[in-house]
Amino acid sequence: MATKRIKYYHQEEEDRLSELPDSIIYQIFSLLPTYILVRMSVLSKRWRHLWLSDSTLYVDDSVPLCIRFRRRHKLLNFVDKYLKHHNNHMLQRFKLVMHYYGSDQRIDSWLEKIIKQNKSIKEIDVCLTSGYRNKDYCLTENILNSRSLTVLKLENMILVALFPVELPSLKAAFFNNVSILDDKTLANLLLGCSSIEKLLLSHCRFTKGIVFSNSNIKSLEIYQCNGLRAGRIQVEAVNLESFVYKGSLMSIYSEAHKYRDQGIDISACGRLRNLCVSNTVLDDQWLISLFSKHVELERLKLDNCSGLKHINIKSEKLKVFILCGYGKETNKVESTTINAPNLVSFMFEGYRTISNFSMKAPNLIEPRIKLVRNSTFYDTDWYVNLIKFLQYFDGSNSRLSLEVMAEEALLIPEILKEVCHQPLPTLKLLKRIDLKELDISFKPNCDEYYCLPQSVYKAISLTHLKLENLNNSIEAPCSTPNLAYFRYEVDERSKCSLNSPNISEAKMNLWNHMFICDAYWYSDPVLFLFHLYFLKKLSLIVFLEEAFIIPKNVRNWIRSSTLPGLKHLEVDINDSMGSNYSELIETVFWCAPTLETFALIK
């Protein structure tokens, strides 16, 4: 009887698998090692025929099913038999993920059969993890000869090419933790890849500087490659459009006095459009010559680059400028000047604002500023520089994304408010972007009452305002006559008053961490609702059902309705017992007597 149940279940599973389209089945095949596909083929006769026509051979000895395989040599024999009996002419993709124990012969034979005997191979992906002997596999140029190969991915090995390779169709190459220990290997590789467009080197090892010479390459990315500190990176690629370099941070003095032949030379790349440089040493002259030699540059990112004293950006074509890691001890910039009439995006991340800052970017749409300094003390210089810095981002058509680590970073002292002009008098939208699209997110460090900064609550033209993740209390007197949308998430001690007659939509999240709903709790939210007199649509989230049921004595004390013009209300109650439904409805229509739609979410 048990046998019948198993058979019935097996037949049902087979039918389901057989109903899948071929495209979905082949997509599943591409994600699983071939040996597992062979074992799974017993579940479906249709799978049994399809995997034989699959164009991918995927070998992975780290998959649990392969680890539990009786012996390692069984898996190796499986690959041998596959390559011997399978129709290799149909093979288009080969992926090998294995532990390497010092024997090159077997891997060499596999690659030779796949590359030399197969005229349709498109992609090769080889990742070898060193075994107990801690020896790296050596891949030679004898194997790298294929007229059909378009993608080559190599990881954890030594690459040797004493003679030019023959990969005329190769479009992209990705090398991770690959050792290139002589001058000829990289040159011979690029020489034999006449169609290559993208090259990525990550954590590779070189003996000294390198030269990239290829007229077709369009994208070059170098990440944390060892051995380049003592040499020069020279890029000779006239059609290069994107260059990304992330190196090891070096001493300014070493760059200035010891390594004069060291640096990044991209002067021959006249068509460069995107440049990202991280964790390296630059100088002012390099930055000046950058725009004179690369007039087509549209996107520039400088991340944690030391050595610059005066950042001078002058470009007609630049559209995006990203400056990160500003304000560290190793990055003492004295002045920053940006003159880019077509700049539309500016992102700044630093430990302090930019001093001696000047910007001419009339087409700037949404600057993003992130101040990562986390401190309990902010002096007068901090606030003065902040006010001066924010003034350059004010504009009738501009929006601002601002992120700080603590509320104190924006709490401009009263004495400065009296002597300084408002930094953002015409700002339309103050915004912080993240995965949840939070507009302003503070991370307070103490339990005192706070006031929102002048740059927020005195923005006369502000139309959208969101205050979220305020874990401690605030006092926020906001004078925003043009405010139309408001989102508010606070704790039980926060007090907010709005002078916003044009507000039409709001979302509120009221939390009570003490879980006590007394007269004190009800008074502040009710009084706050009075400031939303003209509100038409409200979405409200409360922690308890009782938190929204306003007692009769409080209603009698207030008398008038808080939201007489409200038409649409949605209430989300996290913890609801449902026993006080009638009192809840009574509260709803006391607050909004002209309500047209009401949704209750429990």
DSSP 538-601: EEEEEEEGGGT---HHHHHHH-S-S-TT--EEEEEEEE--STTHHHHHHHHHHH-TT--EEEEE
Do 503 and 369 fall within a single domain? Answer: no
Distance between CA atoms of 386 and 427, rounded to whole angstroms?
A: 16
Do 427 and 458 fall within a single domain? Answer: no
Q: How many other CB atoms are there within 10 angstroms of residue 148's CB atom?
A: 15
| pTM across the whole model | 0.69
Do 369 and 496 fall within a single domain? Answer: no
Does 126 fall in a domain? no
pLDDT at site 252 = 32
Does 413 fall in a domain? yes
Interacting residues of 222 by C-beta distance below 8 A, sequence separation 6+: 201, 202, 228, 233, 244, 245, 246, 247
Place of tokens 């339990």: 447
Task: State how many domains the chain has.
Answer: 2
pLDDT at site 316 = 93
pLDDT at site 404 = 80
Does 193 fall in a domain? no
DSSP label at residue 226: B
Q: With left for phi above 0 and alpha for psi between -120 and 50, is residue 559 left, alpha or beta?
A: left
Q: How many other CB atoms are there within 10 angstroms of residue 281's CB atom?
A: 26
> What would the pLDDT profile of 253-306 be if each residue is shown by its tens digit?
333 434 445 677 888 898 999 999 998 888 888 888 888 889 999 999 999 888
Do 463 and 425 fall within a single domain? Answer: no
Do 338 and 459 fall within a single domain? Answer: no
Question: Three-state SS for 24?
Answer: helix
Of 436, 463, 487, which closes a domain? Answer: 436
182-206: b (≥16 Cβ within 10 Å) or e? eeebbbbbbbbbeebbbbbbbebeb
Do 401 and 522 fall within a single domain? Answer: no
Does 488 fall in a domain? yes
Does 355 fall in a domain? yes
- Which of 503, 477, 495, 496 is closest to 566 using CA atoms? 503
Distance between CA atoms of 183 and 139, rounded to whole angstroms?
A: 16
Do 486 and 570 fall within a single domain? Answer: yes
pLDDT at site 526 = 61
Cβ 235 vs Cβ 269: under 8 Å: yes
pLDDT at site 4 = 39
Does 350 fall in a domain? yes
Do 395 and 463 fall within a single domain? Answer: no
Sheet bearing 263-265, strands edge to edge: 210-213, 232-236, 263-265
Distance between CA atoms of 102 and 377, rounded to whole angstroms?
A: 58
For 458, 464, 511, 528, 566, the CA distances from 482, given in Å and listed in that order, are 11, 9, 27, 18, 18
Do 411 and 552 fall within a single domain? Answer: no
Do 472 and 514 fall within a single domain? Answer: yes
Q: How many helices (H) and strands (E) does the chain have?
A: 16, 31
Tell me the mean pLDDT per 10 residues along the chain, length 602: 40 56 75 77 71 80 56 80 76 88 84 83 90 78 87 94 90 94 86 94 85 92 77 86 80 39 79 92 85 92 88 94 81 86 92 86 88 77 86 71 77 78 67 36 36 46 64 54 72 59 79 51 60 79 73 69 81 67 77 82 72
Do 518 and 397 fall within a single domain? Answer: no
Does 334 fall in a domain? yes
Place of tokens 């409360």: 542
Does 353 fall in a domain? yes
Do 295 and 423 fall within a single domain? Answer: yes
Of 436, 471, 501, which closes a domain? Answer: 436
Range(s) of the domain holding residue 409:
282-436
Of 403, 436, 469, which closes a domain? Answer: 436
